Amino acid sequence: MSEESSMWAQATQTKSAFTPLTGSDLTVENLPLPASFTWGAATAAYQVEGASNAAGKGPSIWDTYTHLTPSRTNGANADVTCDHYHRVEEDLALMKQLGMETYRFSISWSRVIPLGGRDDPVNEAGIAFYSRLIDTLLAHGIKPSVTLYHWDVPQALYDRYGAFLNTNEFRADFERYARLCFASFGGRVTSWVTFNEPYIISIFGHLNGSLAPGHCAEMGTDTVHEPWRVGHTIILSHASVVQIYANEFQTKQKGEISIVLNGHFYEPWDASSEADIEAARVRLEFYIAWFADPVYLGRDYPAVMREHLGNRLPRFTEQELELLRATCGMNAFYGMNHYSTKFARQLTTTPPPADDWTRNIEESSVNSAGQQIGPASSMPWLRIAPGGFRKLLNWIWDRYRLPILVTENGCPCPGEEDVDVAIDDRFRQRYLGLYLDSISRAIYEDGVSVIGYYAWSLMDNFEWSSGYGPRYGLVHVDFETLKRTPKNSAYYLKETFQERRKQA
């Protein structure tokens, strides 16, 4: 076992090696959280807003992707979805009723700059919508947390130069868009996120093709190099915008800015195999450190990525490394989206494909002994595994030493197509309670700084390539009538945060 893998194993496995969950492991203890701990819920513009071409909005790559024939989104699109655009006052009043303290939402780039580019006209109706949304939040005492990019680049930029595939062009256009948002909303918004889940943008959008723009080997795109170019563009665009915010806006607006990264935790498929122990570490580096090392540490990609990917992985120029070093300390928090844990198995008998993105590591929910990582939600990959969540909190804290803000966490319940099951969502309540217990243990037993938690999602919505199948919401949405009904998990979170913070 390499020295690095040995250190990883000690750091994570001492929080207890993987053992199958028993009934007692699935009992919520309602452990305390700090009095300053904040909570809320999150959404993404394309998933909830609807009004796809209202009041001057331009098309995004998701507007295009969801209207492809044959459908790649289960025959569904988000032209209307929750109609949050027209029902925002109703939705925010409901958030107030449910005791939420923060609303993390994203701005639709093509709603405020329909063609997206640095020389293209601004849509004042789009600016007015987000201004009204922010004002209404503040009137209800709810803090706005704004994400600039949640997967929906304007279609016009994709048509012009391939969006993320042209680093210089995209950076310039994203900088103009960010400046517009800071100038328009920054006096009222003090929490900013540049990009949501760059791993998903890079791999799912530009390698396996399951998300917009749907690039994959089958359609003839260069999946050997594209994902890494996309990731490179995102990292540099993030750093540029962080620098702009710090230099031009932060002193007056007194806000903070960062990026949101997602990631599973990984256990070795065979806990006695040195190769699988190393595979679990490597998988975290390919998934999370790919972006987090340059962004939060101001350095090159992890060495294991350089070694495996070779010239597939772009190189930072010295000027770009200077930008990363200058801005890494300007990120105010580590934005963490997390849902579940998987087993990692190092494949040795079959060679990796030319566009391999994992170092030939296979993921599974079942280990070599046939043990499941945890009970499955309605999405087979998403299982209850709060122990892995605690270990990942430790891994991130040990490596990056930034306060962690859990910006997404949640699950869809089995059987939630039945409205009664959806409202009395006991599976979700147990999941949320167990993951909050893991945060408490990470804080009080492990010394990890975790400052807040945003549930995914505020309401049932358009779930990307899955259409309207899985329901992640704390609020049930009838997509025929658009009636909102809070689920019991919404009331559970309101009550549990009141109680947990009393105990602290």
Contact (Cβ atoms closer than 8 angstroms) between residue 149 and residue 197: no
Q: Which residues pair with 337 in a beta bridge?
A: 262, 408
**How many whole angstroms separate alpha carbon 38 and alpha carbon 486?**
20
CA distances from 89 to 85, 302, 341 (A): 9, 45, 37
Please report, as a single letter, which amino acid is at residue 350: T
CB 287 within 8 A of CB 264: yes
Question: What b/e sequence results for 374-392 when a residue is b if at least 16 CB atoms lie within 10 Å of its CB, and e otherwise?
Answer: bebbbbeebbbbbbbbbbb
Instruction: Quote the Cα angle for 187-110-123, to 5°.
Output: 65
Q: Let me know if 49 is a catalytic residue.
A: no
Let me know if 197 is a catalytic residue.
Answer: yes
SS3 411: coil
Task: Compute φ and ψ for 205, nearest 5 degrees.
Answer: -90, -25
CA dihedral of residues 234, 214, 469, 49 (deg, nearest 10): 50
Catalytic residue among 49, 169, 197, 416: 197
153 and 109 in contact (C-beta within 8 Å)?
yes
CA distance 318 to 358: 27
Interacting residues of 242 by C-beta distance below 8 A, sequence separation 6+: 194, 257, 258, 327, 330, 331
Rounded Cα distance, 228 and 224, in Å: 8
The number of beta carbons lying within 10 Å of the beta carbon of residue 454 is 27
Catalytic residue chosen out of the listed positions 49, 267, 285, 408: 408
Report the distance separating Cα 113 and Cα 176, nearest Å.
10
DSSP per-residue string spanning 422-483: HHS-HHHHHHHHHHHHHHHHHHHTT---EEEEEEE-SB----GGGTTSS---SEEE-TTT--
For 135, half-sphere exposure in the C-beta direction (CA atoms, 13 angstrom radius) is: 7
Residues in the chain: 504
Name the residue type at position 262. N
Closest CA to 228 of 302, 135, 117: 302
**What amino acid positions are annotated as catalytic residues?**
197, 408
